[in-house]
Structure 1
Amino acid sequence: MDTIAVDWCYKSQVSCDCNCKGPDEWKDIAPACSGQSQSPINIVTQKVNKNNLNPFKFHGYQHTFYSIITNNGHTVKVNLSGDAIIEGGGLKDKYKAVEIHFHWGKNGGPGSEHTIDGEQYPMEMHIVHIKETYSSVEDAIKDQTGVAVLGFLYQESDNANKKYESIINALPQISLPERTKSKFKGNKTTIESVSLEMLLPPQDLLKHYFRYSGSLTTPDCAESVIWTVFESTIPLSQQQVTDFGAFIPQLSAFSALRFENGTAMTDTFRPVQPRNGREVTYSGSNTASVSTVLVVGTLIVTFLTL
């Protein structure tokens, strides 16, 4: 979701021999990065507001697609056609999916952008959507509600997630150590027989999510994003056999990628930003016709055991 061509970087890249600007200095190249509604944030579950947000409707998420997966110098990105649409989920408009990208730590360590009750997960996926009426993210960010991003957190699993094989197997092809540094950025290959539905938790678990208004998490940090962070996590293992016969841990495989200067692509996340009084809503409300006491008691038990 790079919207400006500047020399910004993550904290893991900042060093005495690197002239790029890390997250603390993003405001110097994009003033919006110092705004009052920045992302990501730490979600404090005891302070969220319960709300009767409807479940999402996912159109076209089940369709398999053929696409380009790219190491763009900051992350792994998959461009989408816009054929997949979301509606509902408290959104007033329909939004089309235009991009997937990931944020991760180092060798399966903490690396998500959003945190929940201070816990940072190994990785986070963002599915970027824009209103149907717009043709690009650049156009959509001019609208305060022009972008809707679905955020999914990952956790380590004992078993390989076979639905991610196409993506994991593509990673060695988009950042091989022996290639010259000038070829790291924009290094790309194809993936196929993948659907958005394959990459997500089961449909019945997508009813539980957090919602707030925020920004892009990279410069220019435009505050034009309706954020949805799902509560259910996605498992990835520390064991995976690639098409090349090599054993690559699924989470750690992302750390084998390289930044443009050839250093390991690790800790590709922006630190959490101040909430500044913004409301964070949880979709777990229930308005069934029973006593208020029963509703509140049920919600508390359900929420704490999820």
Structure 2
Amino acid sequence: MRDDDVQVVRTGEWCYEGQSRETKCEGPSEWKNLFPKCGGLNQSPINIITSKVEHDPNLTGLIFDGHEDVFNTTVENHGQSVKYNNMLCFHPAHFTLPQSVRLRGGGLSATYKAVQFHLHWGQDGGQGSEHSVDGKHYPMELHIVHIKEKYNNLSVALNDSTGVGALGFFFEVSSEKNKKLDRIIEALGKVRHEGNSSELEDFRLADIVPQANTLSYYRYSGSLTTPDCDQSVVWTVFHQTLPISKNQLTSMYKQLLFRTEKPMIGIFRPVQNLNGRVVYTSVKSHILCVLPNLITLFLCLFCVFGQQKCFH
């Protein structure tokens, strides 16, 4: 067998767009050829069009349990998505979470226990988030993944159409350094190559995520954003962004390598079609209006009295 034949067989797997230009792997537009679920009608991520979201009064305040708890977490670099110990690892690098971290309330049908969290980023401050809002992408997005507490692992939870509860937080570049992210960045630097793992000690989710009672959010039904793209995810995407400095972003991009030893950049799936799905919000339309200037004030008044939806 020729060397290039070996490569074709070996790379008969999914990858991100940037990787597909350099290797013979299947980029996002081709995932459905290998994983039929990726061609489904309820795929994620999506572009949230704020003029079309609907307020749902059932979307009350979320409750985060265990976010204040101190624990040790393991960060691993798999170089690509793999399965181990009957647990699906659907992101090249992730941090494990104890099951004492829970998610409930907020119109969810059950209590969910944490599995892991991971980050999606781009390159040089460009698009890095998977979701977008009115076409705007952010440089990085945090996903915290949970499964219903009655299930033993993620693979089983994926058989339930609402078996997975995922939280999405956008990061926005700030002039000030977010010191609480330094430990995350440092931990990623210790797992640069495929197969590396490291321990992050005395960590709290509350160090990087705000308190639940301060957060408003969007809600929709979707999927995993990597193969097999199972459509079993209740997505909660938050309005409030988290800060990260430009230097911290640059450090993040330089930390990890794919199994090909290429920089782990551009690790996001493009947005998918809504296909008739409705995106809901926990906040009434006029509350989402902000008033930085007179023009915005006029628009907000127009929204309220004209019964139109206004978002910022």
Provide the residue aligned with 1:59 in structure 2: 65
What is the CA-CA distance between 1:274 and the residue it aligns to? 0.3
| 1:180 alignment counterpart | none
Cα pair distance change 1:39/1:137, threshold 3 Å: same
2:237 counterpart residue number: 229
Distance in 1, Cα, partners of 2:307 & 2:172:
24
Distance 1:67 1:170, change over 3 A: same
Q: Cα distance 1:58–1:299, how it changes in 2: closer, same or farther (>3 A)?
A: farther
**Which residue, 206, 214, 217 being the options, matches 1:197?**
206
Question: What's the offset of the Cα at 1:205?
Answer: 3.1
1:303 Cα shift? 5.5
How far off is 1:202 after superposition?
4.6
Q: Is the 8 A contact 1:112 1:153 kept in 2?
A: yes
Q: Name the SS for the 1:47 alignment partner.
A: coil
Q: Which amino acid counterpart does residue 227 of structure 2 have in structure 1?
A: P
Alignment of 1:20-59 (within 5 A): 20-52=25-57, 53-59=59-65
TM-superposition CA deviations, 1:68-103 (whole Å, max 9, x none): 111221433001121111111110100001110111
CA contact (8 A) 1:65 1:193 kept: yes
Which residue pairs with 1:212 in the alignment?
A: 220
Tell me the alpha carbon deviations over residues 180-225 of structure 1, each in whole angstroms, 9 at most, x when there is no partner: xxxx22211111222111111354431x100000000000000000
Over the aligned positions, Cα root-mean-square deviation in angstroms equals: 2.2
Preserved CA contact (<8 Å) 1:211 1:229: yes
CA contact (8 A) 2:60 2:282 kept: yes
Query: Separation in 2 of the partners of 1:73 and 1:9?
Result: 10
State the Cα distance separating 1:302 from its structure 2 match: 10
Following superposition of structure 1 onto structure 2, how do residues 83-94 of structure 1 map, counting pairs within 5 Å?
Answer: 83-94=100-111
Contact 1:171–1:253 (CA under 8 A) maintained in structure 2 = no
Taking only the aligned residue pairs, the percentage that are identical comes to 44
Q: Could you tell me how far apart the structure 2 residues matched to 1:138 and 1:79 are?
A: 16
1:98-135 CA-partner distances (Å, limit 9, x unpaired): 11011100033211000000001000010000000011
Deviations along 1:235-268, one digit per CA (max 9) or x if unpaired, are 0112xxxxxxxxxx21122211211101111110
The 1:255/1:280 distance shift into structure 2, 3 A limit, reads same
Match of 1:242 in 2: none
Tell me what 1:187 maps to.
Answer: 196
1:1-306 map, 5 Å: 7-15=13-21, 18-52=23-57, 53-74=59-80, 75-175=92-192, 184-206=193-215, 208-238=216-246, 249-256=247-254, 257-285=256-284, 297=304, 304=311
Secondary structure at the residue paired with 2:225? coil
One-letter amino acid of the counterpart of residue 274, structure 1 = N
CA contact under 8 A between 2:64 and 2:212: conserved in structure 1?
A: no
Query: Which whole-Å CA distance do the structure 2 matches of 1:167 and 1:283 have between them?
Result: 30
Partner Cα separation in structure 2 for residue 210 and residue 261 of structure 1: 37
CA distance in 2, matches of 1:302, 1:143: 33
Q: Which secondary structure does the structure 1 equivalent of 2:188 belong to?
A: helix
* Residues 285 and 299, structure 1, Cα contact 8 Å, conserved in 2: no
Q: Report the secondary structure of 1:191's partner residue.
A: strand
Give per-residue Cα distances to partners, 1:117-168, cap 9 Å, x unaligned. Answer: 0001000010000000011110100000000000000000111111112111
Instruction: Give the AA of the match of 1:130.
Output: I
SS for the counterpart of 1:100 is: strand
Unaligned runs of 5+ in 2: 1-10, 81-91, 286-300
| CA distance 1:300–1:205, shift in 2 (3 Å) | farther
1:241 match: none
Contact 1:73 1:186 in 2 (8 A): yes
Does the aligned pair in 2 maintain the 1:107–1:253 contact within 8 Å? no
Structure 1 spans left out of the alignment, 5+ residues: 176-183, 239-248, 287-293
Distance 2:18 2:252 in 1: 15
How far apart, in 1, do the equivalents of 2:181 and 2:68 lie? 15
Amino acid at match of 1:28: N
* TM-score, length-scaled by structure 2: 0.83
Q: Which residue of 2 aligns with 1:178?
A: none
2-side partners of 1:132 and 1:299: how far apart? 44
